[in-house]
Structure 1
Amino acid sequence: MTYTQDYSTTTIIDDFGSESNYPTAFGITFTPKVSGIGLGLLGLFGAGYVLVTFFMPALGKYLELKLDETTKQEQVNQQTQSTLQQKLQEAEGRLQQAEKRRATVLDLYANSNDLKTLLLDVNTLIQSRDLTFLNFLPQGDPVIIGDDSLGAGAKNKLKRQTYQLTIKGPFGNTHNFLRDLERLQPLILIKDLKTDLVQTEIPVNLVQSGNRAELKPQINDTLNTSMTLDVLLPLTPEEIAALAPPPPPPGGAGQAQKPEETPKK
């Protein structure tokens, strides 16, 4: 026996397309289209929630840190510039002080004009102390001080003009003259000081006053005094330049010369 039942195509389509087969909530039937829109809205809401809850605070914190970093960097730059400016001013102040000290020291040394009037100045001192002027002889031309006799700082920076001076007179007057000579404006070094009595035997008198007795010479203790005077002068810029070592040849700085090769036989 064969059983046959006819199905209508329209009925099948209506059964599958009917909204009664989809869930309903709050009066909304969640068809595939509605469900897709709902899921899209839900995803958008979730993205917005994540953006507002996590990303925006993090972005605000980042921008705040970035602004703070920029502000501190500007402060550091200002402090660095201020420190550099302060150090520059301190260096300039030290340079000015060094220049003043240098000028003060150079004023102590003689110059060409001092050498021209030195004989007159010395003769004036000798006469003021009632001494006899015997001789005043220059010993050659000025010589550059190339050793450490006056200290390492004076090496190749000063020169000396040497004179031989001889005077005659009493001890007290001679002593006062030496003190006056030290006060002269040009810096003078006294060397090889030598004194001799003009008269080796001096008669004396015994003078008694009450209970005291005192020996007094009948004549003055006249001395012949000779000495060497070194007048110090600073070098001129031309003399300093002449003492500077020559510059190395082009391309030869720091290179050792190669030994000459022996020609092969």
Structure 2
Amino acid sequence: MNLCRVNGQPVEVLSVQDRGLAYGDGLFETIRIAAGQPQLFERHLQRLGQGCSRLRIPCDLDALAGEVRQFAAELGTGVAKLIVTRGAGQRGYAPSATAAPTRILLGSAAPDYPASHARDGIQLFPCATRLAEQPLLAGLKHLNRLEQVLARAEWSDPAFAEGLMRDHGGRVVEGVFSNLFLVRGGRLLTAELSRCGVAGVMRAQIIESVAPALGLPVEVRDIDYQELLVTEEVFTCNSLYGIWPVRALAGHHWPVGPVTRKLQAVLAEPSSDP
């Protein structure tokens, strides 16, 4: 079932002057919908609100939340992509003080990922594309995803389910469409994202809710590539598929370990607060 709403209306047209199209001037959220409910929705709203504040895009989050919940109820099951742009504007980079934000909701079926990804683990492709450092945009899920487009174009072999992305200093940052965690010495490690990268909602859920429930300490810091190669377990995560164990990267191999399995089990438990 494919659904589309633009500013609350069931249309599929957008102004050619929209700044999201012209400059990537906006943000987006990819939200899993189950039984008519947006999952991890408060985390999605929190990240969107932080992004709108940093980009100075006015946004009524309460009204938008109601719009998304209504859309989710109509979609039932699948994925809702929420896009908020600064709106239409005249030529030039300077944003108009009177521009009204554009709200776009796109609904689609859930991606058909192989069950083996979660069960047996995945192989990462070592992407040559490096993430540029821009602290003003770091952590945000802004509309300019050209780095990810270039990285994803590096491989077509279905043996690779995801790619590893590093910054120009060679530090491990994330996957092309996921965040990355290491398991080492009884604790979780994940990259510090003040220079680049996307602060995923599943990453936040693991750091703030799932890991504490299991008594697992979490360390957020820079991760050297060599440290990745000698760690005990590796997994990726995002809001659509949860957790995928990583079993291989560039000739290096890891087991699907007990910590990763425990985290998967907690995420699989029914939640009363979607």
Bigger share in strand: 2
Q: Which structure has the highest helix share of the two?
A: 1
Q: Give the TM-score normalised by structure 2.
A: 0.18
**Of the two, which has the highest radius of gyration?**
1
